[in-house]
């Protein structure tokens, strides 16, 4: 899952010595990566649970959907705030 690491890596540009532009790469912390991995895994598991619930019982479960929406918001927030 190196694409997640690349997506969360910050690149900062600044002027270095002699007016040259330097690019500083700031990798994400391991704690942040584990939080994203966990959130993505839980989103996948809850989506499968919602699908099974829909197939077996034939009903939509709004509580599971609310948790899925919350996790998606969490993941989106992490990606948006990490890049700025």
pLDDT-based confidence at residue 1 (cuts at 50, 70, 90): low
Can you give the residue ranges of every domain in the chain? 29-84
Cα separation of 57 and 6, whole Å? 41
What is residue 15's predicted lDDT score, i.e. its pLDDT? 87
Is residue 43 within 8 A of residue 68, CB to CB? The reply is yes
Is residue 9 within 8 A of residue 23, CB to CB? The reply is no
Q: What are phi and psi of 76, to 5 degrees?
A: -65, -45
Taking the whole predicted model, whether its pTM rises above 0.85 is answered as no
What is residue 39's predicted lDDT score, i.e. its pLDDT? 92
Q: Tokens at residue 32, please?
A: 């942040």
What is residue 18's predicted lDDT score, i.e. its pLDDT? 80
Tens-place pLDDT, residues 11-63: 988 887 888 898 899 999 999 999 999 999 999 999 999 999 999 999 999 99
Cα separation of 10 and 27, whole Å? 6
């Amino acid at each position: 899952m190196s694409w997640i690491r690349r997506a969360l890596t910050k690149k900062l540009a600044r002027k270095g010595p002699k007016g040259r532009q330097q690019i500083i790469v700031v990798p994400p912390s391991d704690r942040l990566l584990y939080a994203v991995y966990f959130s993505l895994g839980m989103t996948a598991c809850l989506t499968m649970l919602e699908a099974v619930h829909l197939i077996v019982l034939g009903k939509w479960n709004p509580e599971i959907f609310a948790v899925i929406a919350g996790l998606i918001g969490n993941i989106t927030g992490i990606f948006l705030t990490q890049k700025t």
